[in-house]
Structure 1
Amino acid sequence: MVTTRDRLLTFEDYLNHQADDSASDVRYELVDGELIPMNPPRIEHFLIAQFLSDYLRQVIGQNNLPWMVFAEIGVRTGFRRSRVVDLCVVQREQVQELAGRSAVFETPPLLAVEIVSLDSIGRDYRYKRSEYAAAGIPEYWIVDPLENRLTILQLQEGLYDEIPQDQSGLIQSPILATMSQQSADQQPAITIEQIWQAANLDQNPL
């Protein structure tokens, strides 16, 4: 953990640190005024993130939505808190607000996605769940390749409710349903199994 010698960091301190340290490969989250370095994830993490990012961009593009997908970007979650989100979907106007500034969203994304690793289990399932709900993020996906489990959470009255996944294997997601309503064209189906296959180099088509 990293702080200044005499005080905890403010969110503004964190933004300045991000700008000053932009050449570094180390990413930091701000947790109660302390800088927490993020360990580099395994390659399977990046394969899953790329698969989901490509899919979300495809659906957004087909429906001509003013939304964008970002990976490994900052999202403010509290007074002295900012998280690095594996994937998020935001409105284009939110991106325009960041022009010339550190890439940390101060308004909630439409969707946040975290891919679980061995050192992020408690962080993704517990701490980020409560922080993302408090920040007002409407939907949160916890993609857990360690347990082959996908948890989709929808914000209801300030708390997350889990969306049941049916036996078809097709992802049941309010935000994907909203995307599909924007166009009469049939949307490409995505299954939970496809997510795990993306992390398998023998099955990944790339």
Structure 2
Amino acid sequence: MAITTQRLTLDEYLAYSDGSDHPCELVNGELLPISLGTGKHGAIIKRLEQLFDAEAERSQQPWIALSGTVGLQSPRSDRWDTVRIPDVSVLTLEQWETLQEREAVIRLNESPPLLVVEVVSESTKSTDYRAKRAESSVLDIPEYWPEYWIVDPLVGKVTIGILLEGWYEATEYQGQSLVQSSIFPDLSVAAETILQG
């Protein structure tokens, strides 16, 4: 449900404050509050953030995993007034440093995150599987987990999409299957471990 009656531009969204700390995404100019999700949803996000940070350190990559703190300007229906806030984003440290003194929104003319994760909940199923996935393919995000990783504890699977020639090639993992990541090629973790949070 939108919380504004008039549509906002990207600049108006970046300057907007309603006095609360509740985060909102901007979708076609409308502010949409982000639901908190369940404790399990939060546990999965935390596990992935820690897993990615540990893997980046192990492989000596200058990357950082961030949960719910970076927005991505996304194209939607011929308009450029959509900003999504993924559950987890993996950025280069250089990219993260450029966001330190301004709103933490990666714009369309900037390099996209290395990897983005959405954890599915009852309230976000259709958005995570359809709208965000289509938007991210336009942005050339190399890997979008539920959009590219779609971590879906509701059905017990992790879907990883790799962008190939403008389309995502999706692979699903369940149970003991070890996920395959092009960003973290040495990552060795079973889908069920991720889904446990």
TM-score (norm 2): 0.86
- The answer on whether the counterparts of 2:37 and 2:121 sit within 8 Å (CA) in structure 1 is yes
Q: Report the counterpart of residue 183 of structure 2 in structure 1.
A: 175
Tell me by how many angstroms 1:104 deviates. 1.5
Provide the C-alpha distance between the structure 2 equivalents of 1:24 and 1:137, rounded to a whole number of angstroms: 31
Superposition CA RMSD, Å: 1.8
Q: What secondary structure sits across from 2:184 in the alignment?
A: helix
Please tell me the residue identity of whatever aligns with 2:170.
E
The 10-residue stretch of structure 1 (158-167 or 61-70) with the greater mean CA deviation from structure 2: 158-167
Tell me by how many angstroms 1:115 deviates. 0.3
The 10-residue stretch of structure 1 (124-133 or 94-103) with the greater mean CA deviation from structure 2: 94-103
Please tell me the residue identity of whatever aligns with 1:13.
E
Q: What secondary structure sits across from 1:151 in the alignment?
A: strand
Q: Report the counterpart of residue 103 of structure 1 in structure 2.
A: 104
Q: Report the counterpart of residue 35 of structure 1 in structure 2.
A: 31
Please tell me the residue identity of whatever aligns with 2:85.
V
Q: Report the counterpart of residue 15 of structure 1 in structure 2.
A: 14
Structure 2 residue 45 is matched with structure 1 residue 44: no
Provide the C-alpha distance between the structure 2 equivalents of 1:47 and 1:164, rounded to a whole number of angstroms: 21
Structure 1 segments unaligned to the other structure (5+ residues) = 181-186, 199-206
Provide the C-alpha distance between the structure 2 equivalents of 1:118 and 1:153, rounded to a whole number of angstroms: 21
The 4+ residue runs of structure 1 with deviation greater than 6 A are none
Q: Report the counterpart of residue 190 of structure 2 in structure 1.
A: 191
Q: Sequence identity, in percent?
A: 37
Tell me by how many angstroms 1:167 deviates. 8.3
Please tell me the residue identity of whatever aligns with 1:29.
E
Q: Report the counterpart of residue 61 of structure 2 in structure 1.
A: 65
Please tell me the residue identity of whatever aligns with 1:197.
Q
Structure 2 segments unaligned to the other structure (5+ residues) = none
- The answer on whether the counterparts of 2:66 and 2:89 sit within 8 Å (CA) in structure 1 is yes
Tell me by how many angstroms 1:99 deviates. 2.2
Deviations 1:132-187 (A, max 9, x none): 1111111011000000011100111221111354986111121121xx4xxxxxx6
Count, aligned residues:
184
Provide the C-alpha distance between the structure 1 equivalents of 2:195 and 2:100, rounded to a whole number of angstroms: 35
- The answer on whether the counterparts of 2:173 and 2:191 sit within 8 Å (CA) in structure 1 is no
User: In structure 2, which of residues 152, 167, 170 is the aligned counterpart of residue 144 of structure 1?
Assistant: 152
- The answer on whether the counterparts of 1:166 and 1:172 sit within 8 Å (CA) in structure 2 is no
Whose Rg is larger?
A: 1
Provide the C-alpha distance between the structure 1 equivalents of 2:162 and 2:102, rounded to a whole number of angstroms: 30
Provide the C-alpha distance between the structure 2 equivalents of 1:164 and 1:4, rounded to a whole number of angstroms: 39
Deviations 1:87-140 (A, max 9, x none): 010111211221211121223111000000001000000000001111111101
Please tell me the residue identity of whatever aligns with 2:11.
E
- The answer on whether the counterparts of 2:157 and 2:172 sit within 8 Å (CA) in structure 1 is no
- The answer on whether the counterparts of 1:3 and 1:33 sit within 8 Å (CA) in structure 2 is no
Please tell me the residue identity of whatever aligns with 2:51.
Y
Q: Report the counterpart of residue 134 of structure 1 in structure 2.
A: 138
Provide the C-alpha distance between the structure 2 equivalents of 1:127 and 1:160, rounded to a whole number of angstroms: 13
